[in-house]
Amino acid sequence: MHPLSSSTSASAGPATHRLRLWWRRLGRRGAAGAAAFAFALLAAAFFLAPSRDASAPSTASYPSYGHRLPTLVDLTLVAGARERGAVCLDGTPPGYHWLPGFGEGSDKWLLHLEGGSWCRNLTWCAQRKETNLGSSDHMGRRAEFVGILSDDQLQNPDFYNWNKVKVRYCDGASFSGNVEEEFQDGTPFFFRGQRIWEAVMSELLSKGLSRAKEAFLTGCSAGGLSTYINCDDFRALVPKASTDLRKKFTHCSSDMEPGQCIFPREVAKGIHTPMFILNPAYDVWQVEHVLSPEGSDPERLWQNCRLDITKCDSKQLETLQGFRKELLDAISEFKKKKDWGMFINACFIHCQSMNSLTWHSPSAPRINNKTIAESVGDWFFNRREVKEIDCEYPCNPTCHNAVLDQAYKEE
């Protein structure tokens, strides 16, 4: 699959525009139902796309866990982004945080695509423009690098010394839009996620990504969906990419809703790059916004359960177990792929890779006594096959289960 050219980028615009209109037409309740039908439970999955070096190490040590303050990394705005039309929702330039690698990791790169849901209608998008998820004017000038982005070997044993980049998310549609028009209902909006992706990649290539011996694309939530969409293109950018990525396969048919074409279960069918799925079987965001959204629960029977899994009654737990089964059914065809990996634990949480406690620590969630960081590293460096599927809740005592309050807002 070749890197997107200007012609393929242009053709992506109308399709993404149709998708946004489809989502707006369905509304929150309808979109949630359609998402569940299309197995959007994988959309929050943390997907990793490597281009592997044959000289990758065969062993790794995991020293005892220590603690130090996380490294703070400055924000870099993409040069010339406005001239390319690669801008955030409000027209400001996009940005990223880059922590250069060192030692043996100086020619290895790990990129993380920030998550943050979608803006599903113009009202939400207008509100988003006033936040860090829609404008670089509102982004923090420095970011803490923790979890998979940490440069502390005790917290991140396999990737601590790599070049690590956090790509900020400000387009509202998983780095996928390319719409020319700038006004919607008289208000300026810039749906240019695909151009942001291309502009950031172009700048990073010039800073050393083009010489990478190993490269790893990661993301979570909306950023996880973006890794589905862009992983083969990313692999084709690095010099060791194999030539079998020269064709682009699509799995959309005329009887599908346009939005289904962007859901992971469909996108994944055409992916050639080895992938790793990290997802809790009881993902907090999905339970609250897909399985039991407030709009479908007027009597608030699910309110306590969606905020704290220990408050779920027996019937609700039965529904959650069915939700878990749908997830396992959805990934069953990918479990058969020898070079794919997965870690599906029984936790009630969301995005476990960007937290030092859940990524790798003495109290981190484990399956078969392996942390997430150990499992991802084992898979990436071919130390063992990793197809970890946890038992049903509440079987795993190592889980960190979120307890939300009434002020909780979706990511």
283 is catalytic: yes
Closest-CA residue to 358 (of 348, 369, 366, 346): 366
Q: Which two tokens stand for residue 208?
A: 């050393």
Say which of 51, 136, 202, 221 is annotated catalytic: 221
350 is catalytic: yes
221 is catalytic: yes
Say which of 152, 233, 283, 378 is annotated catalytic: 283
Which residue spans within 70-204 are E strands per DSSP? 71-77, 95-99, 108-113, 142-145, 163-167, 183-184, 187-188
Distance CA 62, CA 72 (A): 24
Closest-CA residue to 149 (of 225, 72, 77): 72
> Residue ranges of the alpha helices (H) in 49-101?
81-84
As beta bridge partners, residue 74 has: 142
Q: Which two tokens stand for residue 151?
A: 């440069």
Distance CA 345, CA 183 (A): 44
What 3-state class would DSSP assign to 385? Answer: coil
Find all residues with CB under 8 Å of 331, minimum gap 6, and list them: 42, 277, 342, 344
- Whether 248 and 3 have beta carbons less than 8 Å apart is answered as no
* Per-residue b or e along 347-356, where b marks 16 or more CB atoms closer than 10 Å to that residue's CB: bbbbbbbbbb
Distance CA 7, CA 101 (A): 34
**Cis geometry, peptide bond prior to residue 394 (ω within 30 degrees of 0):** yes
The CA angle 279-222-106, to the nearest 5 degrees, is 80
Say which of 150, 350, 361, 375 is annotated catalytic: 350
First to last CA, the chain: 32
Distance CA 182, CA 324 (A): 41
Catalytic residues: 221, 283, 350
